[in-house]
Amino acid sequence: MEFNRKLILEDGQEYYGYGFGADEEKVCELVFNTSMVGYQEILSDPSYTYQAIVMSYPLIGNYGMADDDYESETPTAGALITHEYNDLPSNFRSTETLSEVMKRYSIPGVCGIDTRKLVRSIRDFGSRKVLITGVSTDKEKGLEILKNTSIPTDAVEKVSCRNIWRSKVMLNPGDGRLHYGKKKHVVAIDCGMKKNIVLSLNNLGIDVTIVPWNTSAEEIRNLRPDGIFISNGPGDPTDVVPTIETVRKLIGSYPIFGICLGHQIISLAYGAKTYKLKFGHRGGNHPVKNLETGRIEITSQNHSYAVDEESMKNTPLKVTHMNILDNTVEGVSCERDKVFSVQYHPESAPGPQDSRYLFDKFLKSITGTVPMSLN
């Protein structure tokens, strides 16, 4: 079988392979993920908008796609790149193949390439633009397309909800999830929020009202929340100025918890700065040290940007978590304002329960029953 699709990187590298999913030409940011499982959750994570994901684990597609495992209703990943693609899933929960889903959502795939070499290239030279195209595309033409095509900066606007919606908890008498009597109400600012985050909050007996990324502080106050949650999402955090301004106005009025992009937005709202990592953190095996307890958590991560620790010195924020691999900031807090955040994803069950305490901590900060420093 002859190659029918290829990748052209902006530094001139080419990788030939076989197409699956949508037969489309796209320019994306090239990134890699080290997870061994979870390709459905990865593909449907809104944080991968406009990105071509290289899976370092070689075999992808073998357990198909299950209706209950999507992290968003409409996957927006740019492309998926694998070493080996399996189109005959054997899992009893599978209702479709990965390729069928990718065709429906216009996501091209390329398999049959040396993903080990490609991942090393990303690690050595950083994330770059890539053109997913047919084998007949001339290299010089491809480089011209890459040169003249910019990655859009509207990723959060693209994936955020358009209207306010609610996820309420129906509790039976004696339900163990309701630990503090009356149900609590949290407003979650949707910057590309994963479904499992809403579920994690509901499982603690919290009603969640989800609002679009550009909702004003006044509109949020009118919803009378007990706490505020800032979600994960794609792209450069400095692109979401309306969200940063909203969070700045809400600080001190409510307990606030942020995850991933939400962590960066909180830091920016306090006056800290962010920067882009060489190749980002993406996978389910990143070790993070909790500086308050000394414990090491195995975490799930997906981000290109990090908070600049030096820039935090003139803010009331303190670092609570650090990445053991590269010493980047993984968590911050301001006890005075009842605000805290983490760069990783506690809802993704890495470890598998290493980071679940963070949701309990948020609930406890809302109820006021314990100090914010409890873990």
Q: How far apart are CA 253 and CA 338, in angstroms?
A: 9
**Catalytic-residue membership of 347:** yes
Given 28, 191, 260, 334, the catalytic residue: 260
According to DSSP, the β-strands at 339-342 and 108-111 are unpaired
**Catalytic-residue membership of 286:** no
Q: How far apart are CA 34 and CA 30, in angstroms?
A: 14
Q: Which residues are 36's β-sheet partners?
A: none
Long-range contacts, 354-359 (Cβ 8 Å, 24+): 354/297, 354/298, 354/299, 355/297, 355/299, 356/200, 358/257, 359/200, 359/201, 359/204
Q: Please, what is the Cα angle at 161 between 159 and 166, to 5 degrees?
A: 145
- Look-up: residue for tokens 């290109």? 304
Q: Please, what is the Cα angle at 112 between 107 and 118, to 5 degrees?
A: 85
Q: What are φ and ψ of residue 190, in 5° steps? A: -90, 105
**Catalytic-residue membership of 260:** yes
Give Cα separations from 241 to 160, 248, 251, 271, 342 (angstroms): 14, 10, 16, 13, 20
Dihedral (Cα; 139, 144, 145, 151), 10-degree rounding: 120
Cis peptide before 287 (omega within 30 of 0): no
User: So which residues are the catalytic ones?
Assistant: 260, 345, 347
